Structure 1
Amino acid sequence: MGKAFYSLRTGILANLIFLILAAMILINVIMIKLAENDLIRARVKEGITLANGLALLIQSSLQDNGESLQVDKDVQLRVKVKGFLKPGDFKDFVFVPAVGGSQWTLGGWRKGTQIAVALCRQSIITQETSFSFHGSTWAVIWLGYETLQVSAPVKAGGRVIGALALSSHLQDLYSHLRRTERLILIYILLNTVILLATGMYLLSRVVIRPIQKLLKVTEQFKEGEPLALPPEPSKNEIGQLFHSLKMMLSKLEENKRELKEHIASLRAANEELKRTQEEVIRSEKLASVGRLAAGVAHEVGNPVGVVLGYLDLIKNGELSEPEIKDALERCESEIKRINKIIRQLLDYSRPSPPILRRIGVHALLSETIEMLAPQPIMRNISIETEFMSPQDAVMGDENRLKQVFVNILLNAADAIEEKRKTCSVWGDAKIKISTQNTHGTIKISMQDTGCGIGRDSIERIFDPFYSTKEPGKGTGLGLAVSYRIVEQMGGDIWAESQEGQGATIHVTLPLAKGE
């Protein structure tokens, strides 16, 4: 069983990777942001503690040296402040006196001095420690503050003599977090691999393998192999699905067996129906053969009488040599005529299995007309042919198609005879046979001058055992059998008539390929 490029396993694996990575990265973003905030708060707390400590240091120096000490000119104080700032994260320092004096700065102070002085002025006024952030730079995930400045008031003798401000660059904090972030990402990838491996193992065991078993069962059922159902994998939803599928496939297997049996019975019934139809066709043919045989017997009687008369004259020696020769030639002619009539009837009546072959419709119509010509019922009927179709070859059984033509012509002759009996003035007794090609078919029309077909009867004349003739003069199967034969050849047959004005039977047959 080949695996599709996008299988269930692939889809679940892709979704798991996406969900796990998304969850891990989201957690990482939140944790990094929380850590960033915590570190900044710790830096603020460090700055406030350091600023208060320096304020106490300056206050202590003032107490030791008297309030007349000028802070900005005290070298020892500068050394102490530098030593105080050296181990910490705040490297920039500024002292702003409350009244008079000059500012005292330490550190690089690349920028932000004016902001620090303003922050000191605020602490002098409020007499409280304050802090603020300034500038922007790339943090870890997004932009963050660039510097942190903290200010604290400096008191001496119960009054504020100035304020100091400290500045710390936050870039080192962000750098530390970014280094930590890289390590976290490595752990995220490692955890993703472990979780995926574990998840795929559990998923394969709980979902994929049972589903593959289901697929195997369905493919086995589809390929027509005997249905072997494995035990249910578990009692969860997959197990319930497996149980439902087993029930459905078992039912389908049962239905398939029943369908095969039904198809076999239908095939047998169809074969029986075909045999019955063949019997009906043969029976109807035998009926028409019997009718033709009666006509042949009447037709053969006259030439047989002539032959017997000539033979009797020859036997009595009443004829001369030339007369005997003439009599024998006349006997030979009459016997050949008898042989031809009987041979045509035998060829028509001989039972044979259906043989599909290429048939010339015009030649078959001419042969049928010639075969029916000796029949007494056809003696006073003129048959007119008008073969207009340049293509007349069809595929079918020649003997059966001739049977169709015989049935139609005999019915036409019967209709003309019926009109002859019932009408004092009945006009010409004529059957016109015409052909024409239409849309890949040949259309054969046989028009008679008989009594026609009533409106109620024209829709039923092709029904089995339906007949408008007197009892004993028809089986009611002729046109029904003809309809069946034409249908088997892929054609169509129908009637047109106006009562009292004759009828026309139309037959259309598909032309043979190559016509």
Structure 2
Amino acid sequence: MKLILGIRAQLVAGIVLLTTAGIGLIGFLSVNIVETRSVYWKIIEAGHTVRLVRFMTSGMKEQSLAGVADNLKPLSLAAAALREVGIDTFEFIDAGGAVILRQGKLSREVGKVIYDSGALKVISVGSGWLAGPGEYLYVIAAMRGEGVKSGKLEFIVPLTDINNDMSVVRQFIFFYALLDSFIIIAFGIYFLSRLVINPVRALEAAAKRISGGALGERADVPAENELGALAASFNVMAGRVEEEIKTLERMNLELVSKEEELLRSKTLAAVGGLAAGIAHEIGNPLGAVHGYIDILSKGAGGKAEEKDLLERLAKEVGRIDVIVREFLDVARPSSRPPHPVDVSSVVKEAVSAVAVHKDFKGISVTVKGATQTPLVAIDEGKLRQVVINLLLNAAHAVKDARKDVSAVMVETGVRKRPVTRALMPHRRRDDQPATAAEVSAPEKDYVFVSVADAGSGMTEQESRKIFEPFFTTKEVGSGTGLGLFISQSIIKAYGGVIEFATKQGEGSVFIVFLPVGQWQEPERAENAVGE
């Protein structure tokens, strides 16, 4: 698991590391400087000792030292002087390399030359940056006396006292550095929290409250520095955001209100159009009924004429009844729930039903496509009504065209097309939203029924009005103009769509698409009316 540190923890860790590293480096350099100066003073003391020995041996005879008793006395005095200054290991060597006087055993280990003036050479043994000043200094000095001008003195200067002193110094520097580090870190954390962390946390808390909906919140950072300027800019930005959000909310409320007004206006316009159409369609037969009643009230010419008027009166009343019933089919939802239906079977039944209809006399019907299609959810009676209406319209179009070829072609099958339901807006609160699969899927399977005729087709103006209520291309009195309007309302209520294509002089084709396996309750007809 990845460890995530906050800005405070990161800054504190940085302060601790930098402080510890800085104090440690200073302590390390301080110890090395003290060690170097201590060794330097040891070298100076060794130089003084060599000069003293040279002075004490300056009166020795020039001849060979072997067997000359007068030469032993100054060497003995020099040896005593060496012991007096704490040098217990040394050798006096003549020009021939023979040891004249020795005390202790010299260990000629490899070391580092730290001083060399020609007459005096000092070698440090066991020293280094981390090893300290070393174990001892190995000193080689030339004896420039009158008797032994080319002889030399070699001795060891122990550094035990320096090592002991430096051990105490290291402990002192360690505790001093530890105390300094603690003080620096404590004050650093305090000032960091007060000057940086607390203002940043205030900004963060204000941002969280604003994002949670408290648009009036502001960051309280009184500091007069960069963070204070940042907090001031943040507060200005928050104020502008608050103003913009309030403006958007106000505009949204106005938009919702206008949308509701527009929807009501569209609904009223649609209802008004329907009412006007109904009034127009019913007005004609009502006028005829009124005329027939007036004639009957005045007395008809005879029984035959009276019977004829009554028959005409009944016919006009029947027209009014048909118009009212068809309108009720639009406005009233289906009383039967949808269930799985085989479209191909319904089409076959509809074709068989219209084959004996008077409008299909002399018209051939060709059915092709799948003998069995996937099931769709719809009221079987409503679907049969739609198919029969399309077939009758096709038959009327063929007859009106008066062509040599009188044929209607029907086809069923399955096609892929964009999902219709996911693209439809929800106009009611209880409308079910499209599922995630419907929204993400660009298309799905639809069962289709196409009815094509070899009629005269429609003009562009007629095509734009083809699904409007009470619009018809038939002769006056031959239709109410509600057939396609009702068919479209039925298919849309079950999640489908009706499309058409027409070419003037060649005919038209109407295609009904119904989604495969979509088991849902039909939408109410007023939803379709509002559209």
The TM-score, its normalising length taken from structure 2, stands at 0.65
In 2, the alpha carbon distance for the partners of 1:395 and 1:268 equals: 36
Q: Secondary structure at the match of 1:225?
A: coil
Give the corresponding residue for 2:83. 85
The answer to whether 1:450 aligns with 2:434 is no
Report the counterpart of residue 183 of structure 2 in structure 1. Answer: 194
Deviations 1:277-313, CA, capped at 9 Å, x for gaps: 545655666678679879999xx9xxxxxxxxxxx99
The structure 1 residue matched to 2:512, chosen from 498, 504, 507, is 507
Q: Mean alpha-carbon deviation: is it higher for 28-37 or for 199-208? A: 28-37
Q: Which residue of 1 aligns with 2:297?
A: none
Secondary structure at 2:23 match in 1: helix
CA distance in 1, matches of 2:233, 2:272: 57
Letter in 1 for 2:513: T
**Corresponding residue for 2:54?**
55
Residues 278 and 142 (structure 1), Cα distance of their counterparts in 2 relative to 1, 3 Å cut: farther
CA deviation after TM superposition for structure 1 residue 365, in Å? 8.1
- Separation of aligned partners in 2, 1:254 and 1:502: 60
Give the secondary structure class of the aligned counterpart of 1:205. Answer: helix
Mapping of 1:444-483 within 5 angstroms?
A: 444-453=449-458
User: Using the alignment, how far apart are the partners of 2:154 and 2:80 within structure 1?
Assistant: 14
CA-CA distance at 1:226 after TM superposition: 4.1
CA spacing shift, 1:229–1:156, aligned 2, 3 Å = closer
Aligned to 2:107: 110
Partner SS state of residue 91, structure 1: coil
Change (3 A) 1:359 1:416: farther
The whole-number CA distance in structure 2 between the counterparts of 1:288 and 1:375 is 28
- Structure 1 residues 435-446: aligned runs within 5 Å: 435-438=412-415, 439-446=444-451
Q: Is the 8 A contact 2:91 2:99 kept in 1?
A: no
| Residue 237 (structure 2) aligns with | 248
**Closer/same/farther in 2, CA of residues 476 and 197 from structure 1, 3 Å limit:** farther
Q: Secondary structure at the match of 1:265?
A: helix
Q: 2:376 aligns with which of 393, 402, 412?
A: 393
Contact 1:55 1:155 in 2 (8 A): yes
- 1:345 aligned partner: 325
RMSD (Å) for aligned C-alpha atoms: 5.6
How do 1:318-397 and structure 2 match up within 5 A?
345=325, 348-349=328-329, 351-352=331-332, 358=338, 388-394=371-377
What residue is the counterpart of 1:17 in the other structure? 16
Separation (CA, whole Å) in 2 of partners of 1:201 and 1:354: 77
SS in 1 for 2:40: helix
8 Å CA contact 2:446, 2:516 repeated in 1: yes
Pick closer, same or farther for the CA change 1:101–1:171 going to 2, 3 Å: closer
Asked if residue 129 in structure 1 is aligned to residue 127 in structure 2, the reply is no
Given that 2:92 and 2:102 are in contact with CA atoms closer than 8 Å, whether structure 1 keeps it comes out as: yes
Q: Which stretch of structure 1 is more off in the superposition, 46-55 or 480-489?
A: 480-489
Structure 2 residue aligned with 1:209: 198
Answer whether contact 2:91 2:102 (CA < 8 A) is retained. Answer: yes
Greater mean deviation of Cα atoms: 142-151 or 238-247:
142-151
Contact 1:295 1:374 in 2 (8 A): no
Counterpart Cα distance in 2 of 1:274 and 1:482: 23
Aligned match of 1:427 in 389, 405, 418? 405
* Contact 2:468–2:485 (Cα < 8 Å) also in 1: yes
Q: Quickly say closer, same or farther: Cα 1:485–1:191, change in 2 above 3 A.
A: farther
Alpha-carbon distance change, 6 to 351 in structure 1, aligned in 2, over 3 angstroms: same
Query: Relative to 1, partners in 2 of residues 1:191 and 1:402: Cα closer, same or farther, differing over 3 Å?
Result: farther
Is contact 2:132–2:163 with CA below 8 Å preserved after alignment?
no
Is the counterpart of residue 268 in structure 1 residue 257 in structure 2? yes
Contact map agreement 1:293 1:345 (CA 8 A) in 2: no
Partner SS state of residue 224, structure 1: coil
Query: Residues 161 and 499 of structure 1: is their aligned pair in 2 closer, same or farther, counting only changes over 3 Å?
Result: closer
| Pair 389,25 (structure 1): closer, same or farther in 2 beyond 3 Å | farther
- Could you tell me how far apart the structure 1 residues matched to 2:486 and 2:230 are? 57
SS in 2 for 1:160: coil
Q: Note the alpha carbon deviations across 1:251-286, whole angstroms, 9 max, x for none.
A: 111111122222223333333444445456556666
Q: Which amino acid aligns with 1:23?
A: G
CA distance in 2, matches of 1:367, 1:271: 44
Contact 1:434 1:446 in 2 (8 A): yes
**How far has the Cα of 1:170 moved from its partner?**
4.4
Amino acid at match of 1:241: L
| Amino acid across the alignment from 2:101 | W
CA shift in 2, pair 1:375/1:204, >3 Å: farther
Aligned residues: 455
Offset of residue 208 of structure 1: 0.7
Matched residues in 1 for 2:324 and 2:225: separation?
Answer: 82
**Distance of aligned partners of 1:375 and 1:167 in 2 relative to their CA distance in 1, 3 Å threshold:** same
Indicate if the aligned counterparts of 1:447 and 1:505 stay in contact, CA closer than 8 A.
yes
Could you tell me which amino acid in structure 1 is paired with residue 192 of structure 2?
A: L
Residue matched to 2:29: 30
Q: CA deviation at 1:215?
A: 0.8
Structure 1: stretches of 5+ with no match in the other structure = 301-311, 314-333
CA contact (8 A) 2:215 2:238 kept: no
Change (3 A) 1:40 1:511: same
- Counterpart of 2:228? 239
Q: Aligned partner of 2:406: which letter?
A: D
- The reply to whether residue 96 of structure 1 matches residue 96 of structure 2 is no
CA distance 1:78–1:157, change in 2 (3 Å): closer
Go from structure 1 to structure 2 and tell me whether the alpha carbon gap of 1:275 and 1:395 turns closer, same or farther (over 3 Å shift): farther
Assess if the C-alpha contact under 8 Å between 1:51 and 1:165 holds in 2: no
Which fold has the larger relative contact order, with Cα–Cα distance below 8 Å and residues 6 or more apart in sequence?
2
